[in-house]
Amino acid sequence: MTAFRGADLHCHSTFSDGLESPAQLVQRGVDAGLSVLALSDHDAVHGLPEFEAAAKGTGLVTVTASELSTRCDGDDVHVLGLFLDPDEVELRAKLARFRGDRDTRGSAMVEKLLALGMPLDIEEIRVVVGDGAFGRPHIARAMVARGYVKTLDEAFERFLSRGKPGYVPKPKWTLDEAIAAIRQAGGLSVVAHPIWYRDPEKVVSLGVAAGLDGLEVIHADQDGQKENQFSGLAEREGLLKSAGSDYHGPPEGRKRVGACLLDEENWNRMVAAATTRRAEAGRPPLDLRPR
Ligand code: AMP
Ligand code: FE
Ligand code: FE
Ligand code: ZN
């Protein structure tokens, strides 16, 4: 047995708003010396076969995942579905519909930006998005490329965040629906980056009432103090603890594969819960052997 070297359970690729392919992500995981890596694209599971294929021969343990957007308590609450069966048909169909909605919403945002004097080429952006999930980062990057803003953060702060003039909402799950859909697909539901919400404790308690499994205690945007706070919250609520970098590429500060790692004890707890969940949901058993 080789020693456990940590699990990064939250990463994006070009199948949503990440900048690197699943194969590039796998290479990042190998370079960081990880034991476990998850691909958790927004509203997408169709990048997982490529991720799986790229991991062959690396010795990494791979985790199938997706990040779902929900509305909860007036916030856009992200829920990770970890260990879900990517072949579950209802989930696949719903995610495909959401990706269609994202495309419609993307072109509506481009229209709004045009009216604000910032023309963008929607077809050029669609080429970049490909068959992935169209997100605000795609628009923000196009705005930077045209020189309308200097950074992605500026694009969000001035135009793309909720309440700003370029923002268009997208259809979302309710928190309860997302948790139920993940459960049906044999996965574990985890509230992502609690620091993003106005009242994380309320979000978690609503989640627990709906069958939530875990909380992302360690995340690139959460410092040591927040980590302790969310760790305590997870313990009080009987939730699994999760960890992830939320990598979108290229590496930057703590948004780097391997910068936010789950330890062996918490990983083992997750594996036990996921194994049970798969069986209860009637989905195929997990294969967590190193690839
Ligand atoms: P969407 O799913 O299209 O609503 O876009 C949300 C995504 O935008 C998140 O998953 C992040 O990847 C990214 N994002 C949100 N806020 C910011 C920000 N302030 N700066 C850069 N990226 C952001
Ligand atoms: Fe994202
Ligand atoms: Fe997120
Ligand atoms: Zn994410």
Report the CATH number that the domain containing residue 114 is assigned in CATH.
1.10.150
Helix (H, G, I), strand (E, B) or coil at 62: strand
Q: What is the mean pLDDT of residues 167-182?
A: 97
Kindly list the protein residues whose Cβ atom lies closer than 6 A to any atom of ligand 1. 17, 42, 69, 135-137, 152-153, 156, 248
**Calpha distance 93→175 (Å, rounded):** 18
Q: Looking at the domain assignment, is residue 34 inside a domain?
A: no
Buried b / exposed e along 130-143 (16+ C-beta atoms within 10 A):
eebbbbbbbbbbbb
Q: State the pLDDT at residue 32.
A: 97
Q: What is the CA radius of gyration of the chain?
A: 18
40 in a structural domain: no
Residue 102 located in a structural domain: yes
Q: Which two tokens stand for residue 85?
A: 């069966």
Q: How far is the CA of 1 from the centre of ligand 3 (A)?
A: 34
Reply yes or no on whether the pLDDT at 248 is more than 60.
yes
For residue 135, how far is its CA from the centre of ligand 1 (angstroms)? 7
78 CA closest ligand 1 atom index:
10
Confirm whether 271 is domain-assigned.
no
2 has a pLDDT exceeding 90: no
| pTM for this model (two decimals) | 0.97
Q: What is the pLDDT of residue 1?
A: 54
For the CA of 157, the closest atom of ligand 1 is 19
**Domains identified in the chain, total number:** 1
Range of the domain at 155: 95-160
Q: Compute the C-alpha angle 287/180/98, nearest 5°.
A: 90
